[in-house]
């Protein structure tokens, strides 16, 4: 049963995360041949102040 953890900087709507979860689920289903009902997508929002990228 695949678990996919997605960490994002806060600010995405629930609608956007739902669309992402559906696309991620479809991709895992397609390439890992896992049943969709066994795929779990977990989102974790990070505060902008808790994230740093040197770019």
Nearest Cα residue to 42 out of 9, 5, 1: 5
In angstroms, the CA 12 to CA 3 distance is 20
Catalytic site residue from 1, 2, 40, 47: 2
35 catalytic? Reply is: no
Selection from 2, 10, 7 nearest residue 44 by Cα:
7
The residues that are catalytic are 2
């Amino acid at each position: 049963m695949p678990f996919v953890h997605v960490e994002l900087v806060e600010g995405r709507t629930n609608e956007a995360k739902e669309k992402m979860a559906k696309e991620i689920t479809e991709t895992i289903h397609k390439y890992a041949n896992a049943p969709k009902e066994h795929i779990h997508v977990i989102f974790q929002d990070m505060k902008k102040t808790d994230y740093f990228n040197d770019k």
